[in-house]
A and B are shown apart, each in its own frame.
Chain A
Amino acid sequence: KQEVTQIPAALSVPEGENLVLNCSFTDSAIYNLQWFRQDPGKGLTSLLLIQSSQREQTSGRLNASLDKSSGRSTLYIAASQPGDSATYLCAVSSNYQLIWGAGTKLIIKP
């Protein structure tokens, strides 16, 4: 049974720092992996999708990597800003469903 874990559960850093969020999964037979952002009381915004054959994807200040063999993905956020404060979720796709981590709650202090 696929399990997805995100570490840390919460993170508070000063503005301007570069940071890394971690996601691990137990079964490497995935179709793709997505990173999402969720603001309090809101829905989910897709940030990056990495196909199983890819190693990384970049969008602006965000970079996500995928190592299927070790069951790990990282989301790198460069030059963090207060507007980056949100909960970040990773999800792996297999058999037409997304299996989710519990999320990392990120607070960027001005």
Chain B
Amino acid sequence: KAGVTQTPRYLIKTRGQQVTLSCSPISGHRSVSWYQQTPGQGLQFLFEYFSETQRNKGNFPGRFSGRQFSNSRSEMNVSTLELGDSALYLCASSLVGTGGTYEQYFGPGTRLTVT
């Protein structure tokens, strides 16, 4: 079974631009979560989607948004990029139980550099 895939793997953008990252979950997984990893803040939760609905959102500004499609693939968008948005963006997929998600499987990440 194929793992979680993320595209692109590397991205360089300029301040003020916007960016869209893509995530394809493991087949059969309907929950997709996004996380940001930086040296200073560590891993932080961005949002989680299940059946095209956002069920939870982390403490990030409105410039960060996401969506999930009917085939469970997900995208996240960052508008008006800032230097501080440089990070590794990780996507995870999982099966869903009653009250929470089961084991989360992570993709390789997209490394975003903002100059």
Contact = CB atoms under 8 A, between A and B. Distances in A.
Interface of A: 31-32, 34, 36, 42-46, 49, 89, 91, 93-103
A98 B45 contact: yes
Contacts of B102: 32, 49
B100 A32 contact: yes
Most buried by B among A32, A98, A99: A98
A109 B59 CA distance: 39
Interface in B63-107: 90, 92, 97, 99-107
Contact of A31 (B43, B92, B101, B106): B101
A96 B103 contact: no
Given A31-B99, A31-B101, A44-B90, A96 B31 contact: yes
Contacts of B42: 100-103
Contacts of A43: 90, 106-109
Given A95-B56, A98-B45, A46 B105 contact: yes
B8 interface: no
Interface of B: 31, 33, 35, 42-45, 48, 50, 55-56, 58, 90, 92, 97, 99-109
A93 B106 contact: no
B101 to A, nearest CB: 6
Nearest to B47: A97
Nearest to A30: B100
Nearest to B96: A96
B101 A93 contact: yes
Given A97-B33, A100-B43, 12 more contacts: A31-B101, A32-B102, A43-B108, A46-B106, A91-B43, A93-B104, A96-B50, A96-B55, A96-B101, A97-B45, A98-B45, A99-B45
A42 B35 CA distance: 14
B33 A98 contact: yes
Contacts of A31: 97, 99-101
Across the A-B interface, give the 5 residue pairs with the lowest CB-CB distance, nearest first.
Answer: A31-B100, A100-B43, A44-B106, A97-B45, A43-B108
